[in-house]
């Protein structure tokens, strides 16, 4: 298979300067103090090498700050590597950050024209594709307004539609699949599938393991600017989760004795985390506020979760998932910032989650709950299989059921 992209021992160093605008005065001061004040540098990427074959979908994962964005920017030519080389065979086009790409003072139509010409099309070729782009982005009524008046969603829809219509050899998609409503996401996924079929090489990053699994042929795991591994999506995700655990353990070790939260005894299941924030109690109640250990399939459930945090923490991400006995995830919900959802956090508090109806088949289930920092880079406290509950089938049910979800099926027979 021909290689379409080659990244050879690429490194990128950034100089960290203070964030104030550089002025002549600053330069004169630096000159007087000496050049060494400038030399705090950060290697965002170190010796990264990989190759992507033509027509493959290549995923890049790593937690925030691992170098994903820097790498994508280098791939799109938005920055030059400090060392190493990047060879691209053909046109590379990407949707990266929101600011880049469109000029806010020009209309959507004018921006599409610029983007098309930048991608090597002639004005008449862009004109011919314009209508398709506008209708895919669903911006018929807004296309002649300046893009500064667009919402984030509108802006990205246009960027996405344009990037896909210009037929690049390599398309870089950075987390864009997380934007837009579900219907539009579905439309994008369909379009991406078509691009894959037509032989476009895709490079994607995503926080969603499901998307990585369903899209990618090969995945690269980055950690602190270095390649940890490159391989099939399954093993890459496993290695990514290992890194999360390692980071948590390293951090917990460095905090030893510094937190007053001693690990609670765990009767069953597995508990993991640095315990800077901890879940002190999890309770289930039925609709009459009675504590509950089992409930009928289809009935509702109220979950209360009591947490305690050390003073240095002012925001948390929360994860609640329902898993069955065979570790299949039946449902998961996450809140990426508790402070912005519930207001400022007190040192101790209780969160209530009401689930109207749990249409799951009878059996043993676990409520797995976790607290994370808002960038999900390690774990504060995660309870795996520590909070079980039972679901039993209603008496009236007669048929044999299997699967995950309890779907009501009505039977009749004509003789």
Partner 1 sequence: MSNSQVTRTMHLIWHLVKRDFQLRYAGSVLGFFWSLAVPLSQLLMLVFVFSRVIPLNIANFPVFVFTGLLPWSWFSSSLIASGGTFTTARDLLYHPNVHPAILVLVTVLAHLMTLLLSLPVLFWMLYWYDLDFPWLFLPAFPLLILVQAPLTAGLSFMIATANVFYRDVSQLIGIVVTLLFFLTPIWYAVPPTSDYTYLFEINPMSLIIQNYRLVLLDGRWLDWPSLMMASGMSVGMLAVGYFFHRHFQSDVIDAI
List of residues contacting partner 1 (CB under 8 A): 14, 21-24, 27, 76-80, 92, 99-103, 105-106, 110, 113-114, 117-120, 122-123, 146
Taking the least distance from each CB to partner 1, the nearer of 77 and 347 is 77
CB of 46 to partner 1, least distance (A): 17
CB of 92 to partner 1, least distance (A): 7
Is-contact 63 377, C-beta < 8 A?
A: yes
CB of 118 to partner 1, least distance (A): 5
CB of 316 to partner 1, least distance (A): 34
**Residues 68, 48: Cα–Cα separation, whole Å:** 11
Is-contact 370 267, C-beta < 8 A?
A: no
Taking the least distance from each CB to partner 1, the nearer of 107 and 304 is 107
Taking the least distance from each CB to partner 1, the nearer of 106 and 264 is 106
How many angstroms separate the Cα of 388 from the Cα of each of 68, 138, 363, 394? Answer: 38, 46, 10, 20
How many other CB atoms are found less than 10 A from the CB of residue 34?
9
Phi and psi at residue 43, in whole multiples of 5°? Answer: -85, 105
Question: 76: which 2 tokens?
Answer: 């799109």
Taking the least distance from each CB to partner 1, the nearer of 126 and 243 is 126
Taking the least distance from each CB to partner 1, the nearer of 103 and 135 is 103
CB of 22 to partner 1, least distance (A): 5
How many other CB atoms are found less than 10 A from the CB of residue 298?
14
Is-contact 356 401, C-beta < 8 A?
A: no
Looking at residue 266, the DSSP 8-state letter turns out to be -
Taking the least distance from each CB to partner 1, the nearer of 92 and 161 is 92
Question: 226: which 2 tokens?
Answer: 């270095």
Residues paired with residue 51 on neighbouring β-strands, in sequence order: 6
CB of 361 to partner 1, least distance (A): 52
Which ranges in 93-232 belong to alpha helices (H)?
Answer: 108-118, 123-137, 152-165, 182-197, 209-215
> How deeply is 44 buried, as exposed, middle or buried, from its count of CB atoms within 10 A (0-12, 13-18, 19+)?
buried
CB of 55 to partner 1, least distance (A): 21
**Residues 131, 109: Cα–Cα separation, whole Å:** 10
Taking the least distance from each CB to partner 1, the nearer of 33 and 405 is 33
* CB-based contacts of 218, cutoff 8 Å, min separation 6: 52, 56, 57, 58, 59, 230, 231, 232, 233
CB of 101 to partner 1, least distance (A): 6
CB of 33 to partner 1, least distance (A): 17
Taking the least distance from each CB to partner 1, the nearer of 119 and 200 is 119
* CB-based contacts of 364, cutoff 8 Å, min separation 6: 324, 325, 388, 389, 390
CB of 100 to partner 1, least distance (A): 5
Angle between helices 123-137 and 108-118 (to 10 degrees): 130
Question: 383: which 2 tokens?
Answer: 């309870």
Taking the least distance from each CB to partner 1, the nearer of 83 and 259 is 83
Taking the least distance from each CB to partner 1, the nearer of 24 and 328 is 24
């Amino acid at each position: 298979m021909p290689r379409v992209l080659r990244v050879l021992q690429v490194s990128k160093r950034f100089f960290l300067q203070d964030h104030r605008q550089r002025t002549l005065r600053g330069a004169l001061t630096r000159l007087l103090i000496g050049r060494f004040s400038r030399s705090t540098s950060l290697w965002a990427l170190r010796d990264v090498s990989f190759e992507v074959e033509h027509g493959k979908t290549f995923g890049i994962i790593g937690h925030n700050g691992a170098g994903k964005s820097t790498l994508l920017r280098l791939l799109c030519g938005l920055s030059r590597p400090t060392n190493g080389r990047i060879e691209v065979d053909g046109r590379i086009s990407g949707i990266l950050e929101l600011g880049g790409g469109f000029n806010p003072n020009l209309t959507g139509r004018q921006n599409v024209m610029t983007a098309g010409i930048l991608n090597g099309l002639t004005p008449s070729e862009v004109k011919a594709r314009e209508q398709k782009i506008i209708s895919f982005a669903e911006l018929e009524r807004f296309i002649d307004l300046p893009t500064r008046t667009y919402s984030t969603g509108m802006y990205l829809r246009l960027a996405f539609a344009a990037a896909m219509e210009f037929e690049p050899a390599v398309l870089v998609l950075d987390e864009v699949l997380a934007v837009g409503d579900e219907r539009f996401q579905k439309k994008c996924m369909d379009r991406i599938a078509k691009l894959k079929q037509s032989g476009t090489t895709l490079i994607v990053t995503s926080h969603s393991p499901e998307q990585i699994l369903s899209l990618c042929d090969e995945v690269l795991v980055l950690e602190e600017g270095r390649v940890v591994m490159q391989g099939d999506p399954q093993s890459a995700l496993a290695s990514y989760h290992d890194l999360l655990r390692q980071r948590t353990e390293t951090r917990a070790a460095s905090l030893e004795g510094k937190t007053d939260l001693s690990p609670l005894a765990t009767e069953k299941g597995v508990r993991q985390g640095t315990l800077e924030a901890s879940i002190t109690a999890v309770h289930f109640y039925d609709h009459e506020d009675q504590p509950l250990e089992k409930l009928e399939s289809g009935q509702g459930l109220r979950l209360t979760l009591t947490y305690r945090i050390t003073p240095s923490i002012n925001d948390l991400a929360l994860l609640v998932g329902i898993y069955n006995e065979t570790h299949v995830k039946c449902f998961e919900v996450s809140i990426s910032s508790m402070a912005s959802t519930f207001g400022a956090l007190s040192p101790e508090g209780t969160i209530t989650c009401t689930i109207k109806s749990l249409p799951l088949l009878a059996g043993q289930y676990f409520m797995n709950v976790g607290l994370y920092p808002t960038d999900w880079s390690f774990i504060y406290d995660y309870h795996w299989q520590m909070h079980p509950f039972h679901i039993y089938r209603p008496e009236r049910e007669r048929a044999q059921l299997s699967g995950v979800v309890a779907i009501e099926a009505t039977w009749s027979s004509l003789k």
